[in-house]
Amino acid sequence: MSYLEHFILMSKYNSRMNAQVFNSMRELPEEVLHQNKGAFFGSLMGTVNHILVGDIIWLSRFSKHSELYTALSELLIVLPTPKKLDEILFASLEPLEHIRKKVDSTIEFWLVNEVNEADIERCLSYKNSRGIVSTKKFSELVSHLFNHQTHHRGQVTTLLTQLGIDIGITDYLIDIPNHSI
């Protein structure tokens, strides 16, 4: 499996898991979603907002990697521009879920239709929030995009489990296609 094929598979897993998280969060009253539960970003809403903030930051950087990344550029026009990592971009679940689905479907479309293997092999230079320039292999940065989501979704699933909600199967394994020997 190539890097690009792997990232496409990760994007499908990412979409599935985000849908499961939001379906589960809908079972809770709004006030519970905002209660500080001691996670890195406090509440369930704080954490899922942070995941979106991270995605927006990275997709903005990725959009500059190729002129062909029009799906990212078009998406970024309709998204808020976060100013800090703990920013609450959407205070209620419904609009956040709507944007989450839009971001996830755009990531899938972008990987399938606009990214090529040559892009994956090149480096991307970007500035972090403090203005420090880094240059890293694009494949590792795309891996980070998915790893960051998985890390924080793990916190969300833990909080949901503590609240008595089973979000279903979270293993990436069920998304990996079977191959014959």
pLDDT tens for each residue of 51-77: 999 999 999 999 999 999 999 999 999
- Which pLDDT value is given to residue 180? 82
pLDDT at 77 (0 to 100): 97
Task: Specify the pLDDT at position 179.
Answer: 85
Domains of the chain: 3-175 (1.20.120.450)
Mean of the per-residue pLDDT values of the chain: 96
Residue 11's pLDDT is 98
Query: Structure pTM?
Result: 0.95
Give me the pLDDT at residue 4, please: 96
Please report which confidence band the pLDDT of residue 80 belongs to, taking 50, 70 and 90 as the band edges.
very high
Query: What is the arithmetic mean of pLDDT over 15-38?
Result: 97
Dihedral of CA 126/99/72/152: which sign? positive
Burial of 135 (0-12, 13-18, 19+ CB in 10 A): exposed
In this predicted model, what pLDDT tens digit does every residue of 116-169 receive, in sequence order?
999 999 999 999 988 999 999 999 999 999 999 999 999 999 999 999 999 999
Give 128-143 as a 3 state SS string.
Answer: CCCCCEEEEEHHHHHH
**Residue 145 CB neighbour total at 10 angstroms:** 21
Residue 42 DSSP code: B
φ/ψ of 53, rounded to 5, equals -55, -50
- Give the pLDDT of residue 25: 98
pLDDT at 111 over 90: yes
